[in-house]
Structure 1
Amino acid sequence: MLPTNVTFWISPEERALSAAFIAIVSNIFLVVNGVMLFTLRSKRMFRETSRYMLLYNLLLGDTLQLALGLLLYLFNVSRVMMAYDLCIVLSMLSGLTSRISPMMLVIMSLERYVAVCHPLRHASVMTVRNTTAAVITVWVVGFLNAFIQGLLMLLFRADKMESLLNTYNCNNANFFFVPVSEMYYKVSIYVLFITASLSILFSYVGVVVEARSAATDKSSTRKALNTLLLHLLQLGLCLLSTFFSSIMTYLATLMSWVTTVRVQLFLFVCVFLLPRCLSSLIYGLRDENIRVVIMGRLCCHLKVSVGTVKIAHAS
Structure 2
Amino acid sequence: MEVVSAGNATAARASLSQRAAGGVLTTCCCVIFLMFNSWTLFTLRSKSLFRETSRYVLLFNLLLADTLYLSLSQLLYLLSNLGVSLPYSACGALVLLANLLGRISPLVLAAMSLERYVAVCRPLRHVSVATAGNTARAVLTVWTVSCLNGVVQGLLVKTFPFEQLTQLCTISVLFLSPVSKLYYDVFTYFLFAWAGSSILFSFVGVALSARSAATDKASLRKAGRTLLLHLLQLVLSLMSVLYGIILAHLASSLSRPDFLLVQTLLFVCFFQLPRCLGSLIYGLRDRSLRVALFYVLCCHVRVWRSPAGGAVAS
Is the structural similarity TM-score above 0.5? yes
User: Is the Cα–Cα contact under 8 Å of residues 30 and 63 in structure 1 kept in the other structure?
Assistant: yes
Quick check: 1:189 aligned with 2:188?
yes
Counterpart of 1:308 in structure 2 is none
* 1:23 aligned to which of 20, 27, 45: 27
Which is helix-richer, 1 or 2? 1
SS in 1 for 2:116: helix
Quick check: 1:101 aligned with 2:140?
no
SS in 2 for 1:65: helix
Quick check: 1:166 aligned with 2:170?
no
Quick check: 1:140 aligned with 2:139?
no
Per-residue deviation, residues 75-130 of structure 1 (Å, max 9, x unmatched) = 11222221110111111111111111100010000001000111011011000110
SS in 1 for 2:84: coil
User: How many angstroms does 1:25 deviate by?
Assistant: 1.4
Q: CA RMSD in A?
A: 1.8
Provide the TM-score with structure 2 as the length reference.
0.88
Counterpart of 1:312 in structure 2 is none
Q: Partners of 2:91 and 2:298 in 1: how far apart?
A: 44
Q: Partners of 1:285 and 1:59 in 2: how far apart?
A: 15
SS in 2 for 1:42: coil
User: Is the Cα–Cα contact under 8 Å of residues 155 and 178 in structure 1 kept in the other structure?
Assistant: no
Per-residue deviation, residues 133-162 of structure 1 (Å, max 9, x unmatched) = 000100000000011111112233x4xx34
- Structure possessing the higher relative contact order (Cα contacts under 8 Å, 6 or more residues apart): 1
Give runs of aligned pairs for residues 189-268 of structure 1, distance below 5 A. Answer: 189-268=188-267
Q: Partners of 2:135 and 2:214 in 1: how far apart?
A: 28
SS in 2 for 1:177: coil
Quick check: 1:111 aligned with 2:115?
yes
User: How many angstroms does 1:216 deviate by?
Assistant: 4.9
Q: Which of the two has higher C-alpha Rg? A: 2
Counterpart of 2:9 in structure 1 is none
User: How many angstroms does 1:277 deviate by?
Assistant: 0.9
Runs of 5+ consecutive residues of structure 2 not aligned to the other structure? 1-11, 304-314
Q: Partners of 1:115 and 1:40 in 2: how far apart?
A: 20
User: Is the Cα–Cα contact under 8 Å of residues 9 and 257 in structure 1 kept in the other structure?
Assistant: no
Runs of 5+ consecutive residues of structure 1 not aligned to the other structure? 1-7, 305-315
Identical-residue share of aligned pairs (%): 53
Q: Partners of 2:283 and 2:182 in 1: how far apart?
A: 39
